Amino acid sequence: MAFLEISRLEKSFGPLHVVRDFNLDIEQGEFVSLLGPSGCGKTTVLRMVAGFETPNHGAIRIEGRDMVRQRPNQRKIGMVFQAYALFPNLTVAQNVGFGLKVAGVPRREAADRVAEMLALIGLPDLGGRYPFQLSGGQQQRVALARALAVRPRVLLLDEPLSALDAKIRVSLRTEIRAIQQRLAITTIFVTHDQEEALSISDRIVVMNGGIAEQVGTPFQIYNHPTTKFVANFVGTLN
Ligand code: ADP
């Protein structure tokens, strides 16, 4: 049994069939990217795992337990979005501690956890700042710390780098991967950027029109694409 099992997932919005027979098993601690062009259903898969969308059909199991009927806050999932979704009127420390407060973690323990998370993202001294006083890259690191503070079982990253400058994008993706490995947290990363997926993932799911075209390691996807779409999309066919 895999740590996270997604089986036969289907999702339609009215007549639009967005996710079709989507299957994916993810091992504990694995970093898996969903890669594909805009509109192919990546975010919808992620939102179903998070519990923000309900599938029309299929199962999402974490350690054997079906999540589909659990509310988002019961799933123990952390999520980081593309645009910085920090609370602008809260300090960095308050942002990072937000989920802990909601969960009723005692103040002292929460303060320790916040300090631990700020150290983890390399911003130990910025707890008193407000989001507008941070760079885009720093804001995304805080968003990551906030997602991780509640010690989720699964981390979902929805294009977390795409709003950043190219240079920051590369350094932050390396850092995200290092933090992910240090915590050994099971992660799904959504991106439309081939190079990003190839450089950061244990495995990649290449999606097209709501379907998983190919699932494999970066090496397999790059060197042995099984469909023309995959070959085109990862740039090995010109
Ligand atoms: P991706 O993340 O790959 O860009 P999405 O999962 O965001 O793709 O979207 C897949 C398709 O589903 C798109 O055509 C999008 O417009 C549509 N879609 C997504 N969410 C909704 C919604 N809540 N209602 C209607 N259509 C939606």
* Interval 142-182: pLDDT, tens: 999 999 999 999 999 999 999 899 989 999 999 999 999 99
Ligand 1 interacting residues, C-beta cut-off 6 A = 13, 16, 18, 36, 38-44
148 φ/ψ angles, rounded to the nearest 5 degrees: -85, -20
Per-residue confidence (pLDDT) for residue 85, from 0 to 100? 86
Output the pLDDT for position 203. 98
User: How many whole angstroms from 140 Cα to the centroid of ligand 1?
Assistant: 23
**Rounded distance from Cα 93 to ligand 1 centre (Å):** 33
Residue 35: burial class (beta carbons within 10 Å; 0-12, 13-18, 19+): buried
How much distance in Å is there from the Cα of 208 to the middle of ligand 1? 13
Output the CA–CA distances (angstroms, integers) from residue 73 to 103, 181, 227, in the order listed: 9, 24, 38
What is the pLDDT at residue 236?
A: 63
Q: Round the CA-based radius of gyration of the chain to a whole number and report it.
A: 18
Q: What pLDDT, on the 0 to 100 scale, is given for residue 69?
A: 86
Q: Using CA positions, which residue lies closest to atom 15 of ligand 1?
A: 39
Ligand 1, atom 1: closest residue by C-alpha: 39
Cα separation, 23 vs 208, whole angstroms: 14
Q: Give distance in angstroms: CA of 25 to centre of ligand 1.
A: 23
Contact indicator for 62, 153 with CB cutoff of 8 Å? yes
What whole-number distance in Å separates Cα of residue 81 and Cα of residue 38?
15
Query: What are 74's two structure tokens?
Result: 């019961």
Interval between CA 117 and ligand 1 midpoint (Å)? 32
Q: Read off the tokens for 113.
A: 């956890």
Pocket probe for ligand 1: among 11, 35, 43, 49, the residue whose CB has the most ligand atoms within 8 Å is 43
Closest ligand 1 atom number to CA of residue 46: 6
* Average pLDDT by stretches of 10, the chain with 238 residues: 96 97 97 96 97 96 91 89 89 96 93 97 96 95 96 96 91 96 97 95 97 96 95 78
Identify whether the C-beta of residue 215 lies closer than 8 Å to the C-beta of residue 24.
Answer: yes
In whole angstroms, give the CA distance from residue 234 to residue 220.
11
SS (H, E, C) 115-147: HHHHHHCCCCCCCCCCHHHCCHHHHHHHHHHHH
Residue nearest to atom 18 of ligand 1 (CA): 13
Q: Tell me the H-state helices in 121-217.
A: 136-149, 166-183, 194-200
